[in-house]
Amino acid sequence: MDYKYIEQLLERYWQGETTLQEEAILRAFFSQENVPAELQKYKELFTYEFQKEESLSGDFDARILEMVGEEKPKAKVVTLTSRLMPLFRAAAIVAIVLTLGNAAQAPWDRGWDDPKDAYAKYHQQKVDTVNVLGTIQAENMLDSMKTATTPTEAPAYYE
């Protein structure tokens, strides 16, 4: 079958020269079931009016207004401290484990069972500390005296 008239109408349609009656002819032609394969690509253009129009449901406005009225949950503020908190906790656990491990390895001195022994040990440590400090002070005093009695040469710029 020859579709020259339809092709001429299409040419005029693309140039914007068709009348309303000619456009109605094109719509009627493309609404048929058997449209030639070479004109099939134009079918959707002219049958769009006959397609079921999608519309919004009746409760669309109510749903939108409900969504607008909803309070959105506030965003959680994440600070550097809160991000590093698990790391701090892990470091604290490691420190506790190491402290307990060192305490378990240290020998337990049961000197407090007898108060006389505990006092004797305390007194001996105090005496040892005083002796060490006395020796250090004596050495420092001797060094100071040696420095004070040693003659020094005057610098050249004083002469």
Does residue 12 lie in a domain region?
yes
Nearest to 10 by CA among 50, 47, 46: 46
Does residue 55 lie in a domain region?
no
Does residue 101 lie in a domain region?
no
Does residue 84 lie in a domain region?
no
The alpha helices in the chain, defined as continuous H runs, are 4-15, 20-30, 43-46, 60-69, 80-105, 115-149
Does residue 77 lie in a domain region?
no
Q: For the chain, how many structural domains are there in total?
A: 2
- The residue that leads in pLDDT, 39 or 155, is 39
Nearest to 29 by CA among 21, 15, 16, 12: 21
Angle (CA) 19 24 26, round 5°: 100
pLDDT for the residue numbered 52: 63
Q: What is the pLDDT of residues 76-130, one digit of tens each?
A: 888 999 999 999 999 999 999 999 988 887 766 555 667 787 778 887 888 788 7
The parent domain of residue 122 ranges over 110-149
Q: What is the pLDDT of residues 17-59, one digit of tens each?
A: 888 898 888 888 888 888 888 888 888 887 776 666 667 777 8
pTM for this predicted structure: 0.33
Does residue 159 lie in a domain region?
no
Helix (H, G, I), strand (E, B) or coil at 113: helix
Does residue 126 lie in a domain region?
yes
pLDDT for the residue numbered 156: 64
Does residue 95 lie in a domain region?
no
User: Looking at the predicted structure, is the pLDDT value of residue 72 above 70?
Assistant: yes
